[in-house]
Amino acid sequence: MSQRSGAGRRGPGEGSIYQRGDGKWVAALSLGFKSGGKRYRRRAITETRAAAIVQLEQLKVKAGLGLDAESERWTVEHWLKSWLDTEVRPTLRPRTHEQYASVCNGHLIPALGHRRVRSLTPTDVRAYMQGKIEAGLSARTVGNHHIILRRALEIAFRYGYVEKNVARLVSAPRARRYKVEPLTPAEMKRFLAACKGHSLEALFVALGATGMRIGEVLGLSWSRIDLEGGTVRIEQILYRTPVAARKPDDDEVFALGEPKTEKSRRTLVLPAAAVAILKAHRTKEVERRLAAPVWLNEWDLAFTGDHGLPLSDRMVRYEFQDLLKKAGITGRRIRLHDLRHGAATYMLAQGVSMKVVQEVLGHSQMSITSDTYS
């Protein structure tokens, strides 16, 4: 015969302890009713009454945190997809959502999706990252996977779906720090000479002179360029829309969006040489518009492709590499983003303070600037 502590019908949040016929002790907690009218209970089976008392208190703590609802059966796959739809899509840029979804669907879900999110352990996270490293992914890439999983689990923890964020208990693999090697002054001179007369000359001059991000310069409209005052206002960016949002016959679809951070909204001063080149570029743009049978520059962008359509950053990167070869600058990896690094390095060499460089680059934190250039 079983023994029970307490008697009568149990209400939500109340618990009981009793001994089964086989001698084991049970801690039982009533949590109300499910949508179908069935009582929802949690139980823990122990060897002793003292252990059952402890288990009952733990069940009550979990219930108070909201840990004993339908989320009990949620898998990592279920949670990641829910997080992407309800947390990431409404709050982050479409491109960021696409990147997060790619990591979740292509990596995290195939490896961890079958596990219940509440039973995920630090060992699981560590094993996942080690497996990806062994499969040939770089430490930086695996570190990005870790960031995404950590952010997803942080929301689950905040909502009380898990007891702790296990991804926070595991360190990401240390990525090899990218060595900033911008063009030297002599190389920059050769590069600009190679750009002379190129359709993207003004764009590359603007990047090198101001340290703007590629999305910022591609999103520049003429209304935000003051050629008389020699300034540009960064207030929007151009980005490619996610593949999932395109029609079947679309190649690339572009949209204007908010800058990366609030600090990215800024006004930059243009050197006199850059102003002169931009003035010449504007004259050419007017000539192109008048000569074109169709002109589709609805956003009044300063830098456009055929028929006034937005420029693709992929095309710009391709042309950049082609011009580097034309200038004879080979032998090391140079990215388009290194024009931004070059602008920062030049400012620091001229005695400009790190704080001012941070403001020019639009970094959200001083640590980003100092870690990159100190």
Please state, rounded to an integer, the average pLDDT across all residues of the chain.
86
Please answer whether residues 273 and 260 qualify as being in contact, where contact means their C-beta atoms are separated by less than 8 angstroms.
Answer: no
In the chain, what percentage of residues exceed pLDDT 90? Answer: 54
255-285 pLDDT tens trace: 888 887 889 999 999 999 999 999 999 999 9
339/329 Cα distance (integer angstroms): 14
Q: Where are the beta strands (DSSP E) in the chain?
A: 3-5, 15-19, 25-33, 39-46, 225-226, 231-234, 237-240, 254-257, 266-269
Calpha distance 150→295 (Å, rounded): 46
CA 204 – CA 88 distance, rounded (Å): 33
What's residue 197's pLDDT?
Answer: 94
For strands 266-269 and 231-234, give the pairing. Answer: antiparallel
The single-letter DSSP state of residue 72 is G
Tell me the pairing of strands 25-33 and 39-46.
Answer: antiparallel
pLDDT at 71: 64
Beta-carbon count within 10 A of 202 CB = 23
Strand locations in 20-69, DSSP E? 25-33, 39-46
Q: Report whether pLDDT(173) > 90.
A: no
Instruction: Return d(Cα 145, Cα 109) in angstroms, integer.
Output: 11
Half-sphere exposure of 62 (CA within 13 A, CB side): 25
Question: What pLDDT, in 10s, does the model give residues 51-100?
Answer: 888 888 777 766 654 555 566 778 999 999 989 998 898 888 888 888 99
What does the DSSP 8-state code read for residue 133? Answer: H
pLDDT band with cut points at 50, 70 and 90 for residue 45: confident
Residue 37 has pLDDT above 70, yes or no: no
Tens digit of pLDDT for each residue in 124-137?
Answer: 999 999 999 888 88
What pLDDT, on a 0 to 100 scale, did the predictor assign at position 6?
45
C-alpha separations of 257 from 97, 177, 203 in Å: 14, 30, 20
Q: What number is the average pLDDT over the span 176-180? A: 71
pLDDT at 35 over 80: no
Residue 162, pLDDT > 60, answer yes
Task: Report the pLDDT value the prediction gives residue 7, as an integer from 0 to 100.
Answer: 38
Report yes or no: 209 and 203 within 8 Å, Cβ to Cβ: no
pLDDT in tens, 314-371: 999 999 999 999 999 998 889 999 999 999 998 888 898 999 989 988 988 888 888 7
Supply the pLDDT for residue 115.
Answer: 93
Report how far residue 124's alpha carbon sits from residue 93's, in angstroms, rounded to the nearest whole number: 30
One-letter amino acid of 147: I
Report d(CA 50, CA 152) in Å as an integer. 37
Q: What is the model's pLDDT at position 91?
A: 84
Cα 13 from Cα 161, distance rounded (Å): 18
Q: Which domains does the chain have, with CATH numbers?
A: 3-68 (3.30.160), 73-169 (1.10.150.130), 185-373 (1.10.443.10)
Q: Which of 44-58, 181-195, 232-246 has the highest mean pLDDT?
A: 181-195
SS3 call for 71:
helix
Q: State the pTM of this model.
A: 0.65
Q: Round the CA-based radius of gyration of the chain to a whole number and report it.
A: 29
b/e sequence 15-50, b meaning 16+ C-beta within 10 Å = bbbbbeeeeebbbbbbbeeeeeeeebebebebeeee
pLDDT at 357: 87
